[in-house]
Structure 1
Amino acid sequence: MFSQDADFKMDVLREVGNIGAGNAATALSRLLDKPVDMAVPKVNLLPFERIAEQVGGSEAVIVAIFLRMEGDAPGNMFFLISREQTRHLLQGLLGIDAAADGDYSELELSALCEIGNILAGSYLSALADLTGLYMSPTVPSIAVDMAGAILSYGLLQFGTMGDDALLIDTTFLHGSQESEGHFFLIPDPDSFEKLFRALGVPI
């Protein structure tokens, strides 16, 4: 019985990822006035302490867009992307040649923030539609630092994080190239139960 519940839970979360990715691709296409495709995302649940592993370890320097989700099931969201993949993303989607050393201009940081904002809004909208819960993202912040430092700052900024994170591996397709990032939704300790109950998943 537990296995069936777990499978159902992952099927529901995959649907959130699929709908959110489709919404994000549409929104980015409108913003950039050009076709933007996104691969079917891989979705997983993992402990908070394993987030840094997904981006090369706690000492890996990454770009992070982070924001708070407010409403019926509050929590935190991070879009984490390596510097190399950031360069591919800026070049492929926006035609911007970013510096390899990660010394980003205000325009580049603003563009990355907007992409993170669109992703967050799209995934939250999908989750809200499926659950019937009210959820809204705050204005995003952006940082370039080691993954461990960024996650520690998130803890300080937002207080206690939930123990589990929903990982949505996000891949942008542009021509023959692709850019990969990792989107994490980390509900507050009491929010996961609210979300799963609203989704009809047995707790």
Structure 2
Amino acid sequence: MEFTQAEMDVLKEVGTIGSGNAATVLASMLGQRIPITVPEARFLPLSEVVTALGGPEREVVGILLGVSGPAPGTIIFLLGIEDAQILSQKLLGAPPEVPGQLSEMEKSALSEVTNILSGGYLNALSQFTSLTFEPTPPAFAHDMAGALIDAVLAEVGLVSDYALFIETNFTADQDGLSGHFFLIPSPDGLERILQALGVRRTWENSSKI
């Protein structure tokens, strides 16, 4: 699947608008602004997701949401364990209870951030596509990147080849944090999103992209 520069710019704009929306909501909740930037937004082959996360052995936390509507799918927001603890510390205003482990309060805070990010990005995608996206309540996971992604894809039974990948960077005080937001649509959902975005697809053949 190939994309023009104009099409890539549309995806980046979805990420930029969505992150701006999410930053505004977070600022209202926390009483301080945590800037969110999107250095990259693109459709990524699922075979490359684990590489984008830093390799299969990287310890990560993931928050999973289902998406219903005319383009159903699944959202996964992933952070390295260190970044997850720093972000939860900023959200809660307290240091980690146990380094390398997340308390229930910290998991709840990260789940709420994922809800906010999902709402921001899905609303922006809806503006560009005129499609409706409805997220479900989040579920939490903590594992190595390879095992977590394999388990998630097996559990939800997705057979799509691509994910909308939005790299999401947070800045709070002197800390820079990087998260990875993935929207993995069903095959029919991907088709609807691509058509609504006006994406032209170039297939090398019927079985190889």
**TM-score, reference length from structure 2:** 0.89
The percentage of counterpart residues that share the same residue type is 43
What residue in structure 1 maps to residue 198 of structure 2? 200
Question: Larger deviation: 38-47 or 71-80?
Answer: 38-47
Q: Does 1:7 align with 2:8?
A: no
Question: Larger deviation: 44-53 or 96-105?
Answer: 96-105
Native 8 Å contact 2:27 2:34 kept in 1: yes
After TM superposition, give the deviation of residue 101 of structure 1 in Å.
4.2
After TM superposition, give the deviation of residue 188 of structure 1 in Å.
1.0
What residue in structure 1 maps to residue 60 of structure 2? 62
Q: Does 1:142 align with 2:167?
A: no
Native 8 Å contact 1:171 1:178 kept in 2: yes
Count of matched residue pairs: 201
Residues 148-187 of structure 1 aligned to structure 2 (within 5 Å): 148-187=146-185
What residue in structure 2 maps to residue 80 of structure 1? 78
Letter in 2 for 1:62: V
Q: Find the partner of 2:89 among 81, 91, 104.
A: 91
Q: Does 1:108 align with 2:106?
A: yes
The 1:52/1:99 distance shift into structure 2, 3 A limit, reads farther
- Structure 1 runs of 4+ aligned residues shifted over 4 Å read none
After TM superposition, give the deviation of residue 180 of structure 1 in Å.
0.9
The 1:169/1:67 distance shift into structure 2, 3 A limit, reads same
What residue in structure 2 maps to residue 51 of structure 1? 49
Q: Find the partner of 1:34 among 32, 35, 38.
A: 32
Unaligned 5+ runs, structure 1:
none
Native 8 Å contact 2:56 2:146 kept in 1: yes
SS in 1 for 2:75: strand
After TM superposition, give the deviation of residue 92 of structure 1 in Å.
3.1
Native 8 Å contact 2:43 2:164 kept in 1: yes
Letter in 2 for 1:194: R
Native 8 Å contact 2:170 2:178 kept in 1: yes
Looking at structure 1, the residues matched to 159 and 64 of structure 2 have their Cα atoms a distance apart, in angstroms, of: 13
After TM superposition, give the deviation of residue 81 of structure 1 in Å.
0.3
Looking at structure 1, the residues matched to 200 and 154 of structure 2 have their Cα atoms a distance apart, in angstroms, of: 33
After TM superposition, give the deviation of residue 171 of structure 1 in Å.
0.7
Looking at structure 1, the residues matched to 109 and 142 of structure 2 have their Cα atoms a distance apart, in angstroms, of: 14
Letter in 2 for 1:129: Q
Unaligned 5+ runs, structure 2:
202-209
After TM superposition, give the deviation of residue 41 of structure 1 in Å.
3.4
Native 8 Å contact 1:93 1:174 kept in 2: no
Question: Larger deviation: 87-96 or 171-180?
Answer: 87-96
- Deviation string, structure 1 residues 135-166 (Cα, Å, up to 9, x no partner): 11111111111112211221232112410111
Native 8 Å contact 2:65 2:136 kept in 1: yes
Letter in 2 for 1:196: L
**TM-score, reference length from structure 1:** 0.91
Q: Aligned-pair RMSD on alpha carbons?
A: 1.8
Looking at structure 2, the residues matched to 16 and 127 of structure 1 have their Cα atoms a distance apart, in angstroms, of: 6
SS in 2 for 1:45: strand
The 1:168/1:107 distance shift into structure 2, 3 A limit, reads same
